[in-house]
A and B are shown apart, each in its own frame.
Chain A
């Protein structure tokens, strides 16, 4: 795939234009900052856990359409999931983004996140999409600053 419209799908453009859960969360129980020193992208992920369950998740920051859409869709997907389910999803998204070009990707269960599968064809942009995921992973593990370098 190397078509422009397959990378910048409508859903990605929509989440970029109107990001979901794009706000600070004063009562977050965990948060982490993510930074890509190569391009200067910044993201902060806020998580509110009740026991093992993620009851709320939000983000703030600045970045390109791919990173913003990835963060926005991620927050929508993670709300209501357990910590363990979130970690499993993190692994699957990570595999989808970093797979060898042209190899098969199992998108079942990924839902809307499958629209990000085209990013793997653009090595320079993989980190844009994976930064929010690495950051939420860090938040769930205790929280600190994560860097994609």
Chain B
């Protein structure tokens, strides 16, 4: 039953992939290449390369494309559903419980305690993006893009959409 296999192949990485979509990529590869043999490693890395170059969450792009490749549009729908639904249901239930007691000092303390962790996590992510950029397009391009986008986003309050579209055009012409 191909649909059931697609469901399992994306349900397992979705439920085991702690750390967001990128963390689940090796797990998806394990299911798709090793267990079910829908693709070889070469094909998988080509799909991954294009997926990384396109915007949006990576895990759902992989699930959508591979599901489509294996079993057409129903396959894509099942792959995406298996990736998204379990963890989404979990977070809605947990946050609904949490906000039922949002005035309790315990829940307020939770918010207070986790704030520095979120700060560090975001900081580390920012650093990872900077170093990826440094490796990809070099120091000067990175620094200039950082300065210009900081000025536009934070000083002149330009909407990120325009800044990103501008960067895409710049990248298309000059890199």
Q: Are A and B associated in one complex?
A: no
